[in-house]
Amino acid sequence: MKFTSDARGTATAAAGEEELVNSGLEETMVAAYGELRSIQKGHGVDMRTAAFMNAIEKVAMAYQQRGIFPLSRATTFKVAGSVRHSPIP
């Protein structure tokens, strides 16, 4: 089978910048949806709640990796102007 020069150029052309960005974005979105769907099914919650659960888990992991978490019993924090003790044991 013979290709025309236009068809050959199209077939051998490298992916453009926009195509690469869109491809990476699609992969990221598909992976994120898979995470949320798994949380949703595993915990029997809606997608919004699954997204919150996923976000909180990621923040907790980042804190733990930086040695910020878990908080000790003596840790305090401010909520609406009042000082409260951390509920984390």
pLDDT digits (tens, 9 = 90+) for 45-76: 999 999 999 999 999 889 888 888 665 555 55
Residue 40 binned pLDDT confidence (cut-offs 50, 70, 90)? very high
3-state helix, strand, coil in the chain (%, to 5): 60, 10, 30
Angle at 80 between CA 77 and CA 81, to 5 degrees: 75
* pTM assigned to the model: 0.56
